[in-house]
Structure 1
Amino acid sequence: MSDILMVFDCDGVLVDSEPLAAEAYVEVYRRHGLQIGPEAVAACVGLKQGDIIAKIGADTGQHLPAAGTDDIWPVTRALFTEQLQPMPALSDFLRRLASARCVASSSSLERIHHSLAVTQLAPLLGDGIFSSSMVARGKPAPDLFEHAAREMGFAPEKCIVIEDSPFGIEGAVAAGMTAIGFTAGSHSYPGHAAALSAAGAHVVCDSFSAVERHLASIGVAAFA
């Protein structure tokens, strides 16, 4: 067993969920007489729900009423149940991963557990599931990553974080961890890798095969 803790974001890293999540937000806003495009949601990738709603309001002038927040998860859950997929080659990566691992996500615990259940990833990730609901501040603050490291019993310098959002990269770096940017999701865009690098990513990988090669190149013996 490696002495490294691998910390995985969930949405956009473990599961290819961001386009589905954006579709859900657009639909909920429509139901409440508001109009946003998926690009407004894409600008919020990595944030927790409350911060997403606030940013959409600030960016677009479309302010979701408080009653609308209760609609977001049911609409999202239905889409996830029908369409959510794990990232390519992830299952094999996790089966061979010899290090400790955990999940640190801005999503609610219910959404994280549902995502891992419908994609059959839950048995490969264990009990280390951490949500921004557990800490005072969500990403890009370091709170969630620091909490996950404490609970898992690892020093920050022994943690390697895989993140698809600049907000997540910023939080991992602020926590004193090594951050790997990840661009394999279907929500990736031109300039995505550059944005992750600018946020402080140690390296940017476009697949889990690339992540494995990078870990080997820096001397992390993380695979059986």
Structure 2
Amino acid sequence: MARSKLIIFDCDGVLVDSEPLAAKAYERVYEKHGMSGVHGGIIAQCVGMKQSDIIVRIKELTGHQFPAAADGDIWTETKILFSEELKPTPGITTFLKALKGDRCVASSSSVERINHSLAVTGLAEFFGDAIYSSSMVKNGKPAPDIFLFAAEKMGADPADCVVIEDSPFGIQGAVAAGMMAIGYTGGGHTYPEHAARLAAAGASIICSDWQEVSLQLAEFGIPA
């Protein structure tokens, strides 16, 4: 008898279509603090990272050092935008209603942001307390820490886990954890090279919508 699989979902850009809004929040907050030039193209290079790593990366790319005392401003602005505009990715609600078996969220975002995102999009009911954040582990993506932590908490062998991710960093982390990685390109932040970059990072399959994900999982004997 085949062992059951644990489906591990990234949150931003996979469950919720948040990346364009998050990029807008970073632009606004950096501008507020007198640092121009932090545009969508810069933020796109940080997709999949936790906030502290994003701030470091932005400094590497632009020279702007965001003031540590103002870190909370980023979430404040993001929360406003999410509360007003955040939507689930197209088709995810139907997908989750049909999905059988264990599932959890493993995200680079803070627990507060994950919970808020799931609440405003109506997805919280599908995950309960199975929410894991990079704030709970030492190293963020592309390290495998968050995925291994989630598997341990869910009582699953890494070899029996399927990760659905939209960022190369997330895919790299899943592969490093010994898990099957599915690349998802159905978010509003997708771009022409997206699928190729996910494949280069190690994604076994690339899907552009949740119906395609469902069909691919069915081929592996996972009802969805």
Write the distance in 1 (CA, Å) between the matches of 2:221 and 2:187: 24
Q: Distance in 1 between matches of 2:21 and 2:204?
A: 28
Q: What do the CA deviations read for 1:141-183 (whole angstroms, capped 9, x no partner)?
A: 0000000000000000100000000000000000000000000
- 1:4/1:222 contact within 8 Å kept: no
Deviation at 1:126, TM superposition (A): 2.1
- In the alignment, which residue of structure 2 is the partner of 1:133? 135
**Aligned partner letter, 2:54:** I
Give yes or no for contact 1:183–1:206 (8 Å, CA) kept in 2. Answer: yes
Deviation at 1:67, TM superposition (A): 2.2
- Unpaired stretches in structure 2, ≥5 consecutive residues: none
Unaligned runs of 5+ in 1: none
Percent of pairs identical after alignment? 57
Show the 5 A alignment for 1:60-209. 60-209=62-211
Counterparts of 1:213-224 in structure 2 under 5 Å?
213-217=215-219, 219-223=220-224
TM-score in terms of structure 2 length: 0.97
Tell me whether 1:17 sits opposite 2:14 in the alignment: no
Structure 1 counterpart of 2:202, one-letter code: G
- Give the TM-score, by structure 1 length: 0.97
Question: Distance between the aligned counterparts of 2:129 and 2:116, measured in 1?
Answer: 14
Deviations 1:14-69 (A, max 9, x none): 00000000000000000100011111111100000000000000011111111221
In structure 2, how many angstroms separate the alpha carbons of the residues matched to 1:126 and 1:170?
A: 27
Deviation at 1:222, TM superposition (A): 2.0
**Contact map agreement 1:18 1:45 (CA 8 A) in 2:** yes
Give the corresponding residue for 1:27.
28
Cα distance between partner residues in 2 of 1:46 and 1:222: 27
1:68 counterpart SS class: helix
- Give SS of 1:162's match: strand
* Residue 9 (structure 2) aligns with: 8
Q: What is the one-letter code of the residue matched to 1:21?
A: A
In structure 1, give the amino acid aligned to 2:15. Answer: L
Aligned length: 222
Q: CA RMSD in A?
A: 1.1
Q: Deviation per CA, 1:167-222, whole angstroms, max 9, x where unpaired?
A: 000000000000000000010001000000000000100001000111122x3232
